[in-house]
């Protein structure tokens, strides 16, 4: 005959306290992630809130994990609250799966091009290569394989600048650049097409150059901007990045008002993801579209393949009379960012 021992009052009390403590901890966790989500509402005002908004994918993963725990512990009220917050945050990711031309996602793989159509297309290579990155052979190999018409390099060092001139000077003989060896804001542009009105300009810092140039493709002119504002770490840098993007949007709009027949491309590491309301502000104020819209979650920073820790920081924004037919994120090249290749087609002028 078995002997059944009844738990003592102390054991029952201890078990009850353990469960109570676990519930209290999960309530604290749920409150913390909900408070973090609420902070994104103030992303335009505070740099920490903007950082959280840019980490919205990671925030959603944390919210989903919290939901699972709440469901397991049957914390129904908190479960419903966190679920509602998660749905709100997830709504910010709609643009990743819906293109600006409609609700159907655009194809993610390049299609074969008819030779007759090549004159209507522009291939662009964009890479933040990291100033101290010495794997220049890997970078030039990626450029050569991509066979772009326009090359834009950010964090350009003087050594890499010379290497690209040497490797691509014959095929891309039109160029403008300002390398830096003691900073992370060197920049350069190389083109198969003739550059007109090409210039280096500075918006709100003499240490942060940007490029503006025009290329002519099949009798159509495309105004190309390239830029790399400072990272928004701290309230001062947050304000400077926002001012940089605001001044740039005004410059783009002014150029369009002066010459409305020009198409526009903005290429760069904007230190901003599509999940921040400030990104939507930039699209609206510059009247540009996001080439990554409708193509899923494709991070460009950092160089690893594990998405939960990646961010979409490198962008190609374009006017409505251009269509991005393909956007490809390349494997790592020694930088903390991953290079991208875009293919744009010319549509009817605005």
Q: What is the pLDDT of residue 73?
A: 85
Percent of the chain with pLDDT over 70: 85
- What's the sign of the alpha-carbon dihedral 288, 38, 59, 334? positive
* Confidence band, pLDDT 50/70/90 cuts, at residue 5: low
Question: What's the rounded mean pLDDT across residues 180-207?
Answer: 95
Pair of tokens at residue 239: 């304000």
Does the pLDDT at position 299 exceed 70? Answer: yes
Condensed to tens digits (0 to 9), the pLDDT of residues 104-154 reads 344 444 443 443 356 689 999 999 999 999 999 999 999 999 999 999 999
Does position 2 have pLDDT exceeding 60, yes or no? Answer: no
Is the per-residue pLDDT at 42 higher than 70? yes
pLDDT at 29 over 90: no
Residue 1 has pLDDT above 80, yes or no: no
Residue length of the chain: 350
Average pLDDT, the chain: 89
User: CB atoms < 10 A from the CB of 34, how many?
Assistant: 18
Q: What are the tens digits of pLDDT across the range 337-348?
A: 999 999 999 886
Claim: this prediction has a pTM higher than 0.85: yes
Helix, strand, coil % in the chain, rounded to nearest 5: 40, 25, 35
pLDDT class of 307 with cuts at 50, 70, 90: low
pLDDT tens, position by position, 255-280: 999 999 999 999 999 999 999 999 99
pLDDT in tens, 75-91: 888 999 999 999 999 99
| Distance separating alpha carbons of residues 15 and 28, to the nearest angstrom | 20
> CA angle 128-133-135, nearest 5°?
105
DSSP-assigned beta bridge partners for residue 183: none
Order of strands across the sheet with 322-329?
174-178, 187-191, 150-154, 121-128, 340-346, 322-329
């Amino acid at each position: 005959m078995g002997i059944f021992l009844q738990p003592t009052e102390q054991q029952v009390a201890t078990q009850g306290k353990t469960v109570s403590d676990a519930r209290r901890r999960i309530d604290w966790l749920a409150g913390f992630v909900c408070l973090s989500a609420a902070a994104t509402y103030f992303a335009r005002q505070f740099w920490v809130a903007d950082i959280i908004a840019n980490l919205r994918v990671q925030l959603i993963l944390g919210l989903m994990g919290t939901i699972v725990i709440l469901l397991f512990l049957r914390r129904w009220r908190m479960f419903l609250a966190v679920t509602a917050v998660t749905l709100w945050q997830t709504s910010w990711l709609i643009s990743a799966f819906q293109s600006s031309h409609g609700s159907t996602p655009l194809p993610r793989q390049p299609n074969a091009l008819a030779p007759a159509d090549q004159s209507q297309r522009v291939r662009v290579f964009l890479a933040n290569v990291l100033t101290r990155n010495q794997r220049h052979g890997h970078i030039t190999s990626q450029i050569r394989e991509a066979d772009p018409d326009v090359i834009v390099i950010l964090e350009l060092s003087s050594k890499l600048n010379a290497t690209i001139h040497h490797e691509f000077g014959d095929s891309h003989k039109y160029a403008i650049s300002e390398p830096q060896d003691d900073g992370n804001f060197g920049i350069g542009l190389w083109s198969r097409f003739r550059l007109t009105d090409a210039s280096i300009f500075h918006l709100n810092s003499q240490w942060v150059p940007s490029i503006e140039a025009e290329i002519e493709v099949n009798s159509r002119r495309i105004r190309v901007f390239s830029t790399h504002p400072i990272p928004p770490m701290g309230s001062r840098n947050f304000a400077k990045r926002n001012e940089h993007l605001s001044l740039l949007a005004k410059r783009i709009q002014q150029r369009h008002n002066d010459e409305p027949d020009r198409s526009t491309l903005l290429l760069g590491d904007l230190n901003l993801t599509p999940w921040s309301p400030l990104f939507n502000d930039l699209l609206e104020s510059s009247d540009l579209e996001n080439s990554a819209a409708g193509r899923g979650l494709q991070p460009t920073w950092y160089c690893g393949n594990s998405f939960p820790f990646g961010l979409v920081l490198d962008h190609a924004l374009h006017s409505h009379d251009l269509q991005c037919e393909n956007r490809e994120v390349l494997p790592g090249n020694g930088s903390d960012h991953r290079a991208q290749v875009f293919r744009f087609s010319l549509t009817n002028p605005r």
